[in-house]
Structure 1
Amino acid sequence: MKNAIVGWIMAGMVLGVASAQIPQAYEIPPVFSALKVLPPDQLQGPHFRVRDSVPSDGYMMHFTIDSDYGVFNCVGRQHVSQQIVEIEAIAKLLKVSRSDLFAEGLKRSVEAPIDAVKNIVAEPGESVKKLPKTVGHFFSKVGSSIGNTARKVGKKFDESDGEVTGEDWATAGRGVGNAAKSIAGFDKAKLDTARQLGVDPYSDNKLLQEEMDKVTWAFFAGGLPLRIGATVVSGGASVALTATKTLGLPEDIYDVTPGELALRDRVMMQAMEVPEPVIDQVFMNPALTISLRHGILTTLSKMPPGPGRVEIVQSAAGLEQYRQVVFFHTALNQLAARHATTPYVAVKLFGRLPAGLAADDYLEIAAPVDYVSWTQQVADFARRDDLTGARKRLLTTGQMSKAAATGFAETNWQVVSMK
């Protein structure tokens, strides 16, 4: 994705910029070498290689990863870390799906899920009553879906006289896994798979989701323990990253089912006095994945109360792309880290970005960027006339060109490094 996610966010903040400005020389964002901006273990591994040419857009670096499973475009170094972990996770899952134990688990699952689903459908009583209404749709038409899929797998096995290849089981398992996602207990089993792999259980990586469904289902329905291993190895070095570290997600993301998270998130928004139509918009926005939605709301619930929190939720509800949501979530986490050491008086929305009002009356705006160049868009942001004379700080995790540092200083910004 070559469009600049952060540029899109910043572009919404330049309305009202004074038209009469002294012309200055603007920079062309540089092209970096991956060799110089990434650690060695992120340059290449058994299943991937990062291209050396890394263009930037004034805010973020854009990386391209060639892998055994396709080409991935990454916006920012954090995204590279996440993608590498997911690539290695896919490799581990594919290895498991070719194993004899996987075939055994899938073979056992052919009949088991039918009885399990019959129990859920015929005796919904206690187990379903305990679940919040928000997860009711998980169980719709589950009986016929699982039954039909399992019978097809059984028929395939019978016709082969028992001679079914690992690939046959893998293909069949994919169908069963997709049909079985909502069976009681499967969600928790998949969360455990994601925890072992150190990935976001609700990642937008479709291949990763498909492989997690397939492998988890075979072992879950087959009654076998799944042990993949929590350490992800890249380039011969253990990076041991988890979604909670790479994306700053809450620890309970691995412990609580999607339905329970939905209930918690609704309660948090109601406590923040978010209007019901906005709450509905949050849940209907596909860009707000379960993990990022929960992460944003959990972080925001720890910030100072007031109308600013409602504004921030409204802004998040209107984001249209997954990477926009990731950036927004990272910016909010950055403010929360600052709030933990230097408490804010209030939080508010500045353009499309969350901001904090410090006790010394400075407005602090989080900018989790890679490298800031003095482009016209950046200059317009720095010169916003609605902040003329205001006390303002930019909290950044990246670097600035000399021209950008000079430009922000001349427009009376304090720049604080949050590395």
Structure 2
Amino acid sequence: MPASALSGPGFSVQPQVPTNGAMGQYTIVADATVFRNDAGAYYIESLDLLKIRLSEIPAIAQLENISETGVFAKALASSAERPVADAANMVIHPMDTVTGLPSGVGEFFGRVSLGAGQIYSAATNSPGSGQAAGETANATLTALGYDQVRRDLARKLHVDPYSSDPILTKKLNKVAWVMFSARMTVDAAMMAVPASMIITSVEVTDDLVYQTPKADLILLVQKKLQNIGLSQEEIAAFTSNTAIPLSLQVSAVKDLEALGEIPGRRAAAVVLANVVTEYQARFIVTSLRMLDRWSQQKSPITGIQAPGVLVARDQNGAVIMPAPVDYLSWTQRIAGFATDPQLLAMQNRVLWITGKMTPLARQQLAANGWSVREGELQ
């Protein structure tokens, strides 16, 4: 990360980043100038999610500024008569606070079981599976246009409308609800913000997510999963799993679809349905995207197995294991994965990582017959 991205109005990123053998564990310190009562330290696993969270901070600041303007105060007063008073608490997905669960991506390197073995759905205990009733209750608001106002506001702020960041979600819901209630346009609300407040963030989602009503996105995901071959129970586990934000679900099914009707595609979707944290979900979705890129630029992928990390084979006989990690170390878990007899029996093995690795990891992987590819596929 460039030094300029590691601090700014209302936040700083701690310079020390411990790793767990695969991912960095980052700390954002948020102060009260922007975050108000939400000030404190926030812990994030993976560089990709860190970049997303940092890109959301200017939006949080801007939403706070909007809520303090006279225009907003007037709109807030006029919205008091509308039927739903607690809209600021809708569709909030709290940060993962579960302890003792295999929540990190390192767990994927601890499971190697190729070939036989049933991969089954955890629909009955999928995180967030009890949320369906609450989502249904929002159908009226969607029909009335709140959903569109919220998506338009998110687009203007360059953030994901389905972000799992609870601070952003709370403020986005509140401002969107007041705008919807007072029939205020997004442009009118944004004009009330000082021009010096400029959003500088990465694009975190595609236009489809901004343009399509939430209910239609859910139906799109369900239809594509059905076409891939998932059962109704597995589809329910996938779509109700709050570890996979809706925008990420859309990306995942598009990436799965792009790979074509290859063996193992369904198993990869089921593995994704059963993740317990967003870190794991993003690891799998990025792995799918890497395989799709390999298929387009190197050699078509002909099959996937999903023992934990995805293991794919291409038309030229190469075995590709995409690993979108930050910093790979030669830990006991990684060593166990890299020296597993089932994997060592495969010829032309390529471990493709997007980050860096320690010299010892590089040495040991080479000693065990691994070819290592680093960075983006050229």
Q: TM-score range by the shorter chain?
A: 0.7 to 0.9
Is 1:65 the counterpart of 2:28 in the alignment? yes
CA distance in 1, matches of 2:199, 2:242: 33
* Pairwise CA RMSD: 2.5
Structure 2 counterparts to residues 3-402 of structure 1, below 5 A? 38-68=1-31, 69=35, 70-111=40-81, 140=137, 182-227=142-187, 239-244=200-205, 250-390=206-346, 391-402=348-359
Structure 1 pair 51–243 and aligned structure 2 pair: CA distance change class (3 A): same
The amino acid across from 1:41 in the alignment is S
Contact 1:303/1:347 (<8 A) preserved:
no
Deviation at 1:307, TM superposition (A): 3.5
CA distance in 1, matches of 2:167, 2:302: 41
Deviation at 1:329, TM superposition (A): 1.5
Deviation at 1:67, TM superposition (A): 0.8
Structure 1 pair 349–110 and aligned structure 2 pair: CA distance change class (3 A): same
The amino acid across from 1:98 in the alignment is E
Is 1:415 the counterpart of 2:372 in the alignment? yes
Give per-residue Cα distances to partners, 1:46-83, cap 9 Å, x unaligned: 11011111111111111111012332112122222111
Q: State the 4+ residue runs in structure 1 displaced beyond 6 angstroms.
A: none
CA distance in 2, matches of 1:269, 1:277: 11
Contact 1:113/1:221 (<8 A) preserved:
no
Structure-2-length-normalised TM-score: 0.77
Contact 1:186/1:217 (<8 A) preserved:
yes
Structure 1 pair 141–335 and aligned structure 2 pair: CA distance change class (3 A): closer
Deviation at 1:185, TM superposition (A): 1.2
CA distance in 2, matches of 1:357, 1:293: 24
Secondary structure in structure 2 of the residue aligned to 1:55: coil
CA distance in 2, matches of 1:141, 1:372: 43
Structure 1 pair 349–251 and aligned structure 2 pair: CA distance change class (3 A): farther
The amino acid across from 2:355 in the alignment is G
Deviation at 1:210, TM superposition (A): 0.9
The amino acid across from 2:313 in the alignment is L
Give per-residue Cα distances to partners, 1:7-37, cap 9 Å, x unaligned: xxxxxxxxxxxxxxxxxxxxxxxxxxxxxxx
Structure 1 pair 363–314 and aligned structure 2 pair: CA distance change class (3 A): same
CA distance in 1, matches of 2:221, 2:275: 18
Contact 2:46/2:279 (<8 A) preserved:
no
Deviation at 1:285, TM superposition (A): 2.0
The amino acid across from 2:276 in the alignment is E
Identity between Structure 1 and Structure 2 (%): 27
Aligned residue in 1 for 2:126? none
Alignment length, in residue pairs? 315
Structure-1-length-normalised TM-score: 0.70
Mark the runs of 5 or more structure 2 residues left unpaired by the alignment.
85-131, 191-196
Deviation at 1:342, TM superposition (A): 2.0
Which moves more between the two structures, 192-201 or 309-318?
192-201
Secondary structure in structure 1 of the residue aligned to 2:159: coil
Secondary structure in structure 1 of the residue aligned to 2:52: helix
Deviation at 1:346, TM superposition (A): 2.1
Contact 1:265/1:294 (<8 A) preserved:
yes
The amino acid across from 2:295 in the alignment is H
The amino acid across from 1:394 in the alignment is L
Structure 1 pair 237–192 and aligned structure 2 pair: CA distance change class (3 A): closer
Contact 1:138/1:182 (<8 A) preserved:
no
Structure 1 pair 342–138 and aligned structure 2 pair: CA distance change class (3 A): same
Deviation at 1:136, TM superposition (A): 9.8
Structure 1 pair 279–141 and aligned structure 2 pair: CA distance change class (3 A): closer
CA distance in 1, matches of 2:199, 2:4: 9
